Amino acid sequence: MSTISIDGDRLLGRIRTLGGIGRDEAGRLTRLAATDADKLGRDAFVAWSRDAGLDVRIDRIGNLFAIWGGGQGHAPLMIGSHIDTVIDAGMFDGCYGVLAGLEVVQTLAETGVSPDRPIVVAAFTNEEGVRFSPDMMGSAVFAGSHPLEAALASEGTDGALLGAELRRIGYAGDEEPGFLKPGAYLELHIEQGPILEHEGVGIGAVDSLQGISWQRIAIVGEANHAGTTPMTMRRDAGHAAARVIDFLRRSALERAPRLVATVGSLGLWPNAINVVPGEAVLTVDMRSPDADILAAAEARFAAFLQEMRSEGGFSITQTRLVRTEPVQFDGRIVRLVETAAAGRGLTVRRMTSGAGHDAQMLAPIAPTAMIFVPSAGGISHNPREHTADDPLIAGANVLLDVVRDLIAALPSGGGA
């Protein structure tokens, strides 16, 4: 049984304060990367970190690192997530992990713990990928899997460049990405799914992440009069898009639960009630924890698009946006999560994350794992996103215990 616990009121107060930053007149929360609202959220995290006695450093992609402690030759233990949001968001996704990490460090400092290695709380830039593409950009640049200059030159949905926007809000740092070499990385997160709540389990010990394939599909047919064009003579891009949606759903159901597929956005042109659509653009999101299943689904989809080109006389362009392989997390850290949960009297299960996280970018460079707490109704990326206070505090206490264990377990050169 652990002898120390985090300050739950302080953690919850910070979550609510950060959750109030970036709300519009209607109360909707939107804190997109490198916007004025993002700056205000960053300012709050930096102020809390400095008040707690942490040294705040910023790298060139705008990642924030609040550093506590030292130790010659000892690789830091990193805890983190992100504080940018989607449009009309909930207030827990990402933010909970960053603020719980800060709370863990502050609790350890206040109880007189003197770690022999730095503990770093990280808030990574543009995890959501809503304004700038790709998602998980800051952690990918930090880990060396995405070029810094390409990220800084990324053009947002509003035409702004990320590098210029980071300078504008004062968060284009001087440190080179990767200036810290973590000995291990931990990320605490709401589940963003229904499994833990449905099964009545308190903690998820996340041992893997699904691979993700994002594509943009542009279909060009022929716009024509809706009343005078016979059904058999149409090159209807809207109908072609509907066929794509139906194909993806049927393909995913055939491989459920090991494959999911989603068309999240769809545009038709000229978008008029009395015109057969001449163009359609849609996005495709396919995910699987099995690399072979994901690759086979991509190949089958590509063959289906080729069949549509041949049959319907459509011009179809397929553009890859994001492609990540499934990730296996560090087994030793996953076991520490299970032990810590049991020590707190909490039920725990191993699970795969269906969402992408910064942790998947850190996993190739450091032993990594994640901790999940239940999401009410499995709802996320939505203002109804919610986790009750007790599970939030419980998850932070499990994080605290795993951090204490890792401080002792990591060798001086890092690596679990």
Set out the domains of the chain in order of their start, with CATH numbers.
8-209+326-409 (3.40.630.10), 211-324 (3.30.70.360)
3-state secondary structure of 280: strand
Q: What six digits make up the tokens of 267? A: 């545009």
Query: Which residue from 174, 162, 173, 188 is spatially nearest to 358, judged by alpha carbons?
Result: 188
| pLDDT tens digits, 6-35 | 999 999 999 999 999 999 999 999 999 999
Task: Average the pLDDT over 180-204 and give the result.
Answer: 97
- Please tell me the predicted confidence (pLDDT) of residue 161: 98
| pLDDT tens digits, 249-303 | 999 999 999 999 999 999 999 999 999 999 999 999 999 999 999 999 999 999 9
The amino acid at 343: G
- Please tell me the predicted confidence (pLDDT) of residue 416: 47
Q: Are 351 and 204 in contact (CB under 8 A)?
A: yes
Query: Which residue from 258, 277, 281, 260 is spatially nearest to 269, judged by alpha carbons?
Result: 277
The amino acid at 348: V
Q: Give whole-number Cα distances, 4 to 70, 78, 121, 156, 221, in Å.
A: 22, 20, 20, 44, 65
Sequence-distant (≥ 6) Cβ neighbours of residue 45 within 8 angstroms? 18, 64, 66, 83, 98, 99, 102, 123
- Of the two residues 70 and 161, the one the predictor is more confident about is 161
Predicted TM-score (pTM) of the model is 0.87
- Please tell me the predicted confidence (pLDDT) of residue 71: 67
